Amino acid sequence: MNKRHLLSALALGSAATLALAGCSGGGEAGGEAPASKDITIGVFNGWPEGEAVSYIWKSILEEKGYNVELQYADAGPVFAGVADGSYDVALDGWMPFTHADYFEQYGDDIVDLGAWNEDAKLTIAVNADAPVDSLEDLAANADAFSNRLIGIEPGAGLTAATQDSTIPTYGLEGMDFITSSTPAMLAELQTKLDAGENVAVTLWRPHWAYDAFDIKDLEDPEETLGAAEGIHSFAGTEFETEFPEVFEWLSGFKMDSDTLFSLENVMYNSGEEDISDYTEIVEKWMDENQEWVDGLTS
């Protein structure tokens, strides 16, 4: 048991002992001290899918009587924090590639609760009515896209994979690969779609763009951008003992991509800047998807 939960349990146990000692009937205390109702969820900085589902579970668990805190950190510190008990659980571990090293490093001190989504991947996306369905056909139809492939940040892993693998594998050297930023890519995507023009962009699942825009992924038969991954929940080794019903709920948690895209769209594509608390937005979305939400704990 981690230090925070140990102190909590000791405090509850002491209170129970004092209360029993004050009773005129005396006798021995029976049963164990009630389990802690405080849960800390570790959230990766800059990973919207994990933040989105963490807000959902925060609202669900608070409705069930738990006290839930979201704590943000980079992926490495979150894995370390779950392993040492600083955090109880996290919901954004990508397997079998992106976070494999962390799962291996902390494998003795964390428990994998399974994948809640199995469609996480890097992509090249185009307008849904584009004249191609596969990266194999993009070079021959480059003129239809003004010989432009719109990327994101130059230092991103998606950018490196596109430059080092996708472009040479499919003979796309004749296209201008334009990199700048994710917001710039999304602005170009919307401008082209609004104008009814073809557009090709580097993207990834999950992303709210799949809910906001009529787009499709080009097939990548050579898997130059990697195969699809699962997004896993993981917890400390004491989590099942301390929070058995929550352990069961999270172990059975599933969220398909369309549902996730819908949630991300209302959270991150509202047009509002500098939102620091998504509770109101998320709970409104939950009210509109109440049947799905109820199924998470039934």
5 membership: H or E segment, kind and range: helix 3-21
- Give the pLDDT mean for 22-45: 61
- SS3 of 249, please? helix
Lowest mean pLDDT among 12-16, 133-137, 279-283: 12-16
Q: Where are the beta strands (DSSP E) in the chain?
A: 38-44, 67-73, 89-95, 110-127, 148-150, 176-178, 200-205, 215-217, 229-236
When pLDDT is averaged across residues 18-31 and rounded to a whole number, the result is 35
Please compute the mean of the pLDDT values over residues 56-75 and round it to a whole number.
97
Domains in the chain (CATH in brackets) are 36-119+228-270+283-293 (3.40.190.10), 123-217 (3.40.190.100)
Backbone phi and psi for residue 220, each to the nearest 5 degrees, phi listed first:
-125, 75
* Residue 192: Cβ-neighbour burial (10 angstroms; 0-12, 13-18, 19+): buried
pLDDT of residue 28: 35
Work out the average pLDDT over 104-118: 98
Least confident range from 10-19, 41-50, 188-197, 210-219: namely 10-19
pLDDT of residue 271: 81
User: With the CA atoms of 63, 67, 73 and 79 taken in that order, what torsion angle do they form, in degrees rounded to the nearest 10?
Assistant: -90
Of 241, 236, 237, 238, nearest to 32 (Cα)?
A: 241
Predicted pLDDT at 5? 38
pLDDT computed for residue 10 by the predictor: 34
Task: Provide the pLDDT for residue 35.
Answer: 55
Angle at 284 between CA 282 and CA 288, to 5 degrees: 115
Instruction: Provide the whole-model pTM.
Output: 0.82
Most confident of 19-23, 24-28, 137-141: 137-141
Express each pLDDT in 169-203 by its tens digit.
999 999 999 999 999 999 999 999 999 999 999 99
